[in-house]
């Protein structure tokens, strides 16, 4: 599968490995339900955090992870996610803003969605199949990432996290109840500090 980063900057490769595991926060913890603060310092501390987020996301078998999911209320997410053309996208976006198609260009696709912060629960959710995410890269440069299919869903899901929204907030009451039941039925498999301690 082809690997794609947002730019040809060779510094990206240094961010994808070498991090430490962090605990993934759960829905209900305040940091997940509050709008984040913008990233303003594009320094080595930010780069160390990004490495930790990639490492944590990989250990949890995720395709995207926001800073709120490791307990930090800043507007940042990382991703390793395929698109409809079987291209695997690797990257990180600071201060993301998503633009979605409108009118005739808007095509909603309903697909199963889950969240590392509500492990074990999945629910169909309709989202546009195309998304453009603008923000800044880990060095403060302007960045635009465009996604289709599953990658578009990932960009929307993670930007929602930066706005204090979890995907359960977008479900009907009935669908949310089913999602919560799934999570509760499997919650015993996930230690409180998962993925520092692995899934049971």
Spell out the domain ranges in the chain: 7-186
**Where does residue 194 rank: exposed (0-12), middle (13-18), buried (19+ CB within 10 A)?**
buried
- DSSP 8-state secondary structure symbol assigned to residue 104: G
Strand partners, 89: 4, 81
Task: Judge if the upstream peptide bond of residue 195 is cis by omega within 30 degrees of 0.
Answer: yes
* 157 annotated among ligand-binding-site residues: yes
Fold assignment, 7-186: Peptide Deformylase (3.90.45)
Q: Which of 13, 112, 134, 158 is catalytic?
A: 158
What pLDDT does residue 3 have? 78
Whether the pTM exceeds 0.95: the reply is yes
Q: How far apart are alpha carbons 115 and 136 in whole angstroms? A: 24
Whether residue 77 is predicted with pLDDT greater than 70 in this model: the reply is yes
What pLDDT does residue 36 have? 98
What percentage of the chain exceeds 90 in pLDDT?
Answer: 96
What pLDDT does residue 1 have? 65
What pLDDT does residue 22 have? 98
Q: What angle do CA 159, 200, 178 make, to 5 degrees?
A: 55
Q: What is the mean pLDDT of residues 52-69?
A: 98
Over the stretch 145-156, which tens digit does the pLDDT of each residue have?
A: 999 999 999 999
Over the stretch 151-184, which tens digit does the pLDDT of each residue have?
A: 999 999 999 999 999 999 999 999 999 999 999 9
* 161 annotated among ligand-binding-site residues: yes
* 130 annotated among ligand-binding-site residues: no
The model's confidence at residue 2, banded by pLDDT at 50, 70 and 90, is low
Q: How far apart are alpha carbons 131 and 145 in whole angstroms? A: 8
Is 134 among the residues known to form the active site? no
**Hey, what are 44's tokens?**
């080595």
């Amino acid at each position: 599968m082809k690997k794609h980063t947002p730019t040809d900057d060779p510094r990206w490769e240094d961010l994808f490995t070498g991090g430490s595991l962090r605990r993934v926060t759960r829905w209900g913890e305040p940091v997940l339900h509050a709008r984040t603060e913008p990233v303003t310092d594009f320094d080595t501390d930010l780069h160390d955090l990004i490495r930790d987020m990639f490492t944590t996301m990989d250990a949890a078998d995720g395709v995207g992870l926001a800073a709120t999911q490791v307990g930090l209320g800043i507007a940042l997410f990382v991703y390793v996610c395929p698109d409809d053309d079987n291209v695997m996208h690797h990257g990180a976006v600071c201060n993301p803003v998503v633009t979605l198609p409108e009118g005739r260009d808007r095509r909603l696709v309903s697909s199963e969605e889950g969240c590392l912060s509500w492990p074990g629960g999945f629910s169909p959710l309709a989202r546009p199949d195309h998304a453009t995410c603008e923000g800044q890269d880990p060095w403060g440069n302007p960045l635009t990432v465009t996604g289709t299919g599953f990658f578009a869903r990932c960009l929307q899901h993670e930007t929602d996290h930066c706005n204090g929204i979890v995907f359960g907030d977008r479900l009907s009451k009935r669908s949310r109840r089913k999602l919560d039941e799934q999570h509760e039925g499997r919650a015993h498999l996930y230690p409180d500090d998962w993925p520092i301690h692995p899934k049971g």
